[in-house]
Chain A
Amino acid sequence: MRDIFIDTTAELLTENPRTALVLADISAAAFAPAAARHPDRVLNVGIREQLMVGVAGGLALTGLRPIVHSYAPFLIERAYEQLKLDLDHQAATAVLVSVGASYDRAAAGRTHLSPADVSLIDTLHGWTVHVPGHPAEVPALLRDAVAGDGSAYLRLSVLRNDRPRGGDGSLAVVRNAGPGAPLLVAVGPALDAALAAVADLPVTVAYTHRPRPFDTAGLRARAGTEVILVEPYLAGTSSRVVSAALVDRPHRLLALGVGRADLRRYGSPEDHNRWHGLDSAGLRRSVDAFLAGALLAAGR
């Protein structure tokens, strides 16, 4: 996903003189050709994330459309007050693009993990969040985000589904178990494991790569009594949105995702998926426990 992001961003810089890119050393070498072509609009401030976002705010105030890129923990967590004040409070907007996701760099340890990034962005107002599930989803999402005028966050990952799914981020039914079936919503790269987990269960599976704004109309159209969220970042990040969308309906919600604890373990992203119960076996255990009563009661 990072390679496609770099290529697409280089194209955008050439196509539109309003586009600018702000870096804090991360990916700077990969962007060197773009920087040579557009020295005034590819700006690497060094290892200075507060300045990276502050500069983006200033660029936006002059009418440019900044793309801001780093590892997720440095882009979102370290520079959170700059996101809140140098962008939002100034009524300035930018497109943030992270790599690293929750634990892409698992072997690097806690400092490079960022399961809370989407939750933090969710404390802000009016942001669009894209969590692509495949590299081929990235160019259209990035181009749409840059062409828009609001703030957006693209969360890139090395984890991916087998194939890309297009769409505008509305809930897309991947597997339909019929009216009233439990609805599982998988976000981005969580889809394939979720599909495998419920392959032999009467569960409808829907996909989105755009958790914000969450497709609440699509959710209401498809949700029965049981709703399952599978998110590749902090568990429960979208619970409030689902609860608010279904406030007038009796429903049960199972919100799966990354746990809050620092596991103090290295390994691979796949290892962390397993440890957080986000591999297909772990998801199946959680879904079985959640649905046990419901499926029995419904005679399914």
Chain B
Amino acid sequence: MMMTTANGTMPPVPGPVAGPLEQLRAGREFGANVYSTIDVLWVLYHRVLRITPETVDDPERDRFLLSKGHAVAGYYAVLAAKGFLRAGWLDDQGGPASRLGDHPDRTLVPGVEIGSGSLGHGLGLGVGTALGLRAQGLLTPRVYVLLGDAELDEGSNHEAIAYAGATGLGSLTAVVVDNHSATHGWPGGAAARFTVNGWTASTVDGHDHDALHTALTGQHQDRPHVVVAVVRTEE
């Protein structure tokens, strides 16, 4: 189905996500940024992450950390489509009895690995998560952190990017949804901020599921990996 927003026509929402998203939307107008993130979330949960509603506490699960916490509508919808959330929770987002805020809280929503909202926290937590898994001999799980290109303005990200690169933290994948919203831009592209620190990088169409899948699974074992998912500027 095609979505119409205040910013024009968006690419189709993956089928299983459309129903939960409409339930969550409840007649409201979503910003374009909601739709810009759904494809990468869907590819992650549908084709990449080794996590199910039954394994949300399994130490061997892959971790997905949503750092740009405002991209929450698509996140909730994908989690609901995958059975992590009860459908009834999608009603009344942000209401006084709701578990689903305008930013996610890991203690309220099964499968949500971090509470986020203030930008620039997810990548540091992801580095720590990857290090903690490694220290316990849990070498299979991967750690994925989703950020936005404007979120990269926060200096804390660059502490994490430099350290993860310098130490070859190969179980870490950052996903940057790039809608060119950083106020002062990233001349040379967002990926360059990572590759200069020793990361591998793939820059792909943020709506192309196969390209996203290839990029999200294309990491080396001894270096952290970044996937820059480019979407249109107005998204």
Contacts and interface: CB of A to CB of B under 8 A. Distances in A.
Contacts of A82: 121, 124, 156
A50 B124 contact: yes
B106 A57 contact: no
Given A40-B134, A45-B159, A56-B128, 5 more contacts: A54-B121, A57-B128, A82-B124, A82-B156, A89-B105
A89 B115 contact: yes
Nearest to B133: A62
Interface in A82-111: 82, 85-86, 89-91
B227 interface: no
Contacts of A56: 128
A2 interface: no
B89 interface: no
A86 B115 CA distance: 9
Contact of A58 (B132, B156, B159): B132
A20 interface: yes
A194 interface: no
A184 interface: no
B118 A85 contact: yes
A51 B126 CA distance: 10
Main SS of chain B's interface residues? helix
A58 B106 CA distance: 13
Contacts of B166: 46
B114 interface: yes
Given A20-B132, A62-B132, A90-B115, A85 B121 contact: yes
Nearest to B114: A90
Given A51-B159, A64-B132, A90-B115, A57 B59 contact: no
A149 interface: no
B124 A59 contact: no
> Chain B interface: which size bin?
20 to 34
Contacts of B130: 58
B106 A41 contact: no
Contacts of B9: none
Contacts of B124: 50-51, 53-55, 57-58, 82, 86
A41 B132 CA distance: 8
Interface in B103-151: 105-107, 113-115, 118, 120-121, 123-136, 138
Interface string B48-73: 00000000000100000000000000
A57 B131 CA distance: 11
A58 B126 contact: yes
Interface in A1-37: 17, 20, 22
A279 B59 CA distance: 53
Given A64-B136, A81-B118, A91 B156 contact: no
4 A-B pairs with the lowest CB-CB distances in the bound complex, closest first: A58-B128, A54-B124, A62-B132, A55-B128
B111 to A, nearest CB: 14
Nearest to A18: B136
Contact of B163 (A40, A51, A64): A51
Contacts of A58: 124-132
A91 B107 contact: yes
B78 interface: no
Contact of B129 (A41, A53, A62): A62
B212 interface: no
A117 B107 CA distance: 28
A40 B125 contact: no
B225 to A, nearest CB: 18
B59 A62 contact: yes
B160 interface: yes
A129 interface: no
Contacts of B128: 22, 54-62
Contacts of A48: 159, 162-163
